[in-house]
Structure 1
Amino acid sequence: MKKLAVRRQVSRLPRELRIAELMTAARAVFKEKGYADALTSEIAERAGVVEGTIYRYFDNKRDLLIKVLEQWYVEIISDYEKQLKHVSGTWNRLRFMVWHHLSVLHLEPVLCRLVLLEMRPAPDYRQTIVFDMNREYTLRTIEIIEAAVASGEFRSGLSLALVRDMIYGAIEHHTWAYLRGEGDFSADQVADSLADMVYRALATHPRVEAPVPDAHQLTQAIERLEKIADRLEVPAALATKRSGLAKARS
């Protein structure tokens, strides 16, 4: 009796789902290994496909990295815009923008290094979608400054690009040690300080805020006041006593 040939079932996902799986796997491998040590064979294995499948959807490993970073920027911008809707006031919006960027750096240091070390130094960086996405991302900062200038809250004649570079340059310089794997930073503290410095530098009438002392400072201040009061009370008591004696003699 002739045996029937058994056909092997091949699972074929829709194109969009297959690309999503490959990019998820690639993102994980890039975060764990960096770009140089990431192997397309490992990416394919994690996605459950043969290595050749990657080249059906991506030109090469760098093309895959660019697509991963593009997707990451889309996520960042979407989250930024969703949260910014609920923030009002120039100082608060500036502070939120700085805090959000710092939080991204703190959460995804490896992906940030991939942008700074793999993408930015490349000769064709300005022709990549990553460059375009970065410009779109930082445009939100320019829009905050622009609105403040238009309302008269910030001085006119400012170079918006220079202000943007000043903000992101300060953030990059301050966090570079952390991105190298050295030390740490507080997104809240840095955001407070940087937003305040930028606002005071640009505002037509910078707000003046008295520093709020902490509990220890308040305790020390009270103790000093009590000592001063004690010193004042002694001469006052003596003066009262002398006045009483003088009256008695008269």
Structure 2
Amino acid sequence: MTSHRPGVVRLSREERVRQILAAATDEFRSAGFDGASMAAIASRAGIVEGSIYRFFENKATLLTRAIEVWYEEMLETYARELSVITGTRARLRFMVWRHLKTVHDEPEMCSLMFNYVRGSDGYRATEVFRLNSLYTARTLDIVREGIAKGELRDDLDLRLVRDVIYGGVEHRVWGYLRGEGSLDPEVLADSIVDMVMAGIGVADPLVARLSAIEATVCATVAS
């Protein structure tokens, strides 16, 4: 007769990994990387600590995988939301706003990603690096679409456009992640996109003609 331990549920490897990652994500959110422990993660998951090491080498690899899963799910949501937005400015604005909104709503996870995953020696070998590259590439695809439609200048350095957008975003969010001041995703997204579009957008022909006439009149008066 086979003995059976009541209340014990055997999970598949995939289910157990998901369980551990969910517990780890909750623990990292509440305690940070330094404050989190494998024992606390195991307790949240309802398993013995040694079980975690069957799937993850150490706390750092567990954090990296938790961030990868979080980032992957987040980008899938971004893609669905972006798919119904039309117009170059609106699509660029969405990408900037969504980035800022995530930082605003998930400061703990963003801090973990910036400080422990992105700053690690092996960052470029992680799935997070690949996903982040896809995310910024999507923004550049929007710029290319704008160029093709004649809405944006066709002489743009795309890498520079990317650096201006996300360099500006990150410069502003670092203070927020350090607990310095507030962050308004709506206002900041509009400000960043307005400035970027002013530099990369094709000038309105009427506005350009009026500006030329104004310059001519001013030159005539001055002479």
Query: Is the TM value for this pair above 0.5?
Result: yes
Residues 18-27 or 121-130, more deviating:
121-130
Q: How far apart in 1 are the matches of 2:70 and 2:63?
A: 11
Q: 1:184 to 1:207 in 2, by over 3 A?
A: farther
Q: How far apart in 2 are the matches of 1:137 and 1:5?
A: 52
Shift of 1:8: 3.5
Q: 1:179-229, CA deviations, whole angstroms, 9 ceiling, x for partnerless residues? A: 1122212111111111111111101225999xxxxxxxxxxxxxxxxxxxx
Identify unmatched segments of 5+ residues in structure 2: 208-223
Residues 39-188 of structure 1: matches in 2 within 5 Å? 39-188=37-186
Counterpart residue number, 1:32: 30
Shift of 1:6: 6.5
Shift of 1:133: 1.3
* Equivalent position SS for 2:98: helix
* Equivalent position SS for 1:35: helix
Q: Give the % identical residues.
A: 44
Residues 155-164 or 82-91, more deviating:
155-164
Q: 1:130-159, CA deviations, whole angstroms, 9 ceiling, x for partnerless residues? A: 111111122111111111122222112322
Q: How far apart in 1 are the matches of 2:184 and 2:206?
A: 24
Q: How far apart in 1 are the matches of 2:122 and 2:154?
A: 35
Q: How far apart in 1 are the matches of 2:187 and 2:11?
A: 47
* Equivalent position SS for 1:58: coil
- Code of the aligned partner of 2:159: A
Q: Specify which of 204, 213, 226 is matched with residue 202 of structure 2.
A: 204
Identify unmatched segments of 5+ residues in structure 1: 210-250
Q: How far apart in 1 are the matches of 2:204 and 2:19?
A: 51
* Equivalent position SS for 1:102: helix
Q: 1:91-118, CA deviations, whole angstroms, 9 ceiling, x for partnerless residues? A: 1111111111110000111111111111
- Code of the aligned partner of 1:67: R
Aligned-residue Cα RMSD (Å) equals: 2.0
Q: How far apart in 2 are the matches of 1:190 and 1:106?
A: 12
**Greater relative contact order structure (CA < 8 Å, 6+ sep):** 2
Residues 84-93 or 155-164, more deviating:
155-164
* Equivalent position SS for 1:57: coil
Q: TM-score, normalised by structure 1?
A: 0.77
Q: How far apart in 2 are the matches of 1:207 and 1:44?
A: 64
Where does structure 1 differ by over 3 angstroms across 4 or more consecutive aligned residues? 4-10, 206-209
Q: TM-score, normalised by structure 2?
A: 0.86
User: Does the CA contact (< 8 Å) of 1:200 and 1:206 recur in 2?
Assistant: no
Q: How far apart in 2 are the matches of 1:86 and 1:5?
A: 56
* Equivalent position SS for 1:177: helix
- Structure 1 or 2, whichever has the larger Rg, is 1
- Code of the aligned partner of 2:94: F
